[in-house]
Amino acid sequence: MASFDFDQPVPRDGTASVKHDGRAAMFGTAHVTPLWVADMDFAAPPAVVAALTERARHPVYGYTLCPEGAFEALQRWLAARHGWNAPREHIQMCPGVVPTLYAAVQAFTRPGEHVIVQPPVYPPFFSAIRDSGRRVVENPLIERDGRWTMDFDQLESCAAQAGSRLLFLCSPHNPVGRVWSHEELDTVLAIARRHGLIVLSDEIHADLTYPGVRHIPLATLARPGDRVLTTVAPSKTFNVPGLGLSALIADDTERRAMERAFGMLHVGASNPFSVVAFEAAYRDGGPWLDALMSYLESTRDELIDFVTHRLPGIHPVAPEGTYLIWLDCRGLGLDDDALHDFFIAAGLGLNPGASFGTGGSGHMRLNLASPRAVIRDALTRLEAALPRR
């Protein structure tokens, strides 16, 4: 395995970073270790940095097409990493996963119709629906002994409701870290098939899975006639979320509907740097990703051991995928506002679980994608703060 130094700090203050320079606005103070927004405090893969540097040397940054090399790099990546031979004609470049959620609501539903979500889940799942004048229908996940699963009986009831048109699937799931099994995904498809649901599968975390766990793209299990759209991006995998380029993979009918939705907004998908980073990441980023996941696995395991044995009242949910840790803090006996204030007082900036909707109360989401010394310091602060709560 190639050697990459994930222990090396990369100063980010003063770079207009949401995660770092946005601390005061988010937490009321800049004096917290930022463990919230889902981007990493690691340098992007050297191949990506080199490609961007080379492109920056060309002094014209005009309107930019997406080169065929970017499509080919993604196709090779999906085939090699996920066993998915996605046809080139089914791939559409988009200006990010969140814009894709909004476009899908516009493309496949009318005002007042229903979109199903599975909370606790990534907050833009809710806003994409509500901002568009559609109705959120919740199919809450079930938590048993620290493991989260889908409630398929209730999902069936949601899908059967008049006006249900679309299901947003988070796969792997943010924030609970589940990588859905073959059986679970088959069941989702069967329910969607019975009720004519369209499924948009957000697979932005697909490449961030831990040893012994395999992500299965939903589309690889679909039958002819199933209406499945998949959104993927290099942003989380290779730490380039600020560049904004994603890809949508769907059959012709759904893809054309999405093209029309984006066309109504006249939103361009690419810029001179996003396409270069996209292609370089998927073409040459594999060794870096493999080293990253080994590093994250060790950090994850150390954090879980520390929390389990030294932080009474907090239970860590071991993620199967993503670099996010879902912390069950209900044992501390604090309401959500007090819990948020407790972490800030400890000098830590995390995402409040309540922001992820039903099932999130009493939880916090911690981003562990920082140098291990940063995570160790955060845990030590938390341990010292517990007696003062």
pLDDT at residue number 2: 65
DSSP code string of 8-61: S----TTTT-HHHHTHHHHHS-S-SEE--SS--SSPPPHHHHHHHHHHHHSS--
In one-letter notation, the amino acid at residue 248 is L
Give one word for 328, left, alpha or beta, with left for phi > 0 and alpha for psi -120 to 50: beta
Which CA distances in Å does 25 have to 28, 31, 104, 355, 381?
6, 12, 31, 16, 22
pLDDT given for residue 218 in this prediction: 98
Sketch the domain layout of the chain as residue ranges: 18-45+286-388, 50-284
CATH architecture for the domain at 18-45+286-388: Alpha-Beta Complex (3.90)
**DSSP character for 280?**
H
What string of pLDDT tens digits covers the 389 residues of the chain?
568 999 999 999 999 999 999 999 999 999 999 999 999 999 999 999 999 999 999 999 999 999 999 999 999 999 999 999 999 999 999 999 999 999 999 999 999 999 999 999 999 999 999 999 999 999 999 998 889 999 999 999 999 999 999 999 999 999 999 999 999 999 999 999 999 999 999 999 999 999 999 999 999 999 999 999 999 999 999 999 999 999 999 999 999 999 999 998 888 888 999 999 999 999 999 999 999 999 999 999 999 999 999 999 999 999 999 999 999 999 999 999 999 999 999 999 999 999 999 999 999 999 999 999 999 999 999 999 999 88
Q: Which CATH class is domain 50-284?
A: alpha beta
Residue 3: predicted pLDDT: 82
Handedness of CA 71, 77, 80, 86 (dihedral sign): negative
Question: Do the two domains 18-45+286-388 and 50-284 of this chain adopt the same fold?
Answer: no
Q: What is the pTM of this model?
A: 0.97
Neighbours of 370 (CB within 10 A): 22
d(Cα 389, Cα 381) in Å, to the nearest integer?
13
**Cα–Cα distance measured from residue 88 to residue 66, given in angstroms and rounded to the nearest whole number:** 13
- Please tell me the predicted confidence (pLDDT) of residue 268: 83
Which is nearest to 280 in space by CA: 72, 10, 18, 107? Answer: 72
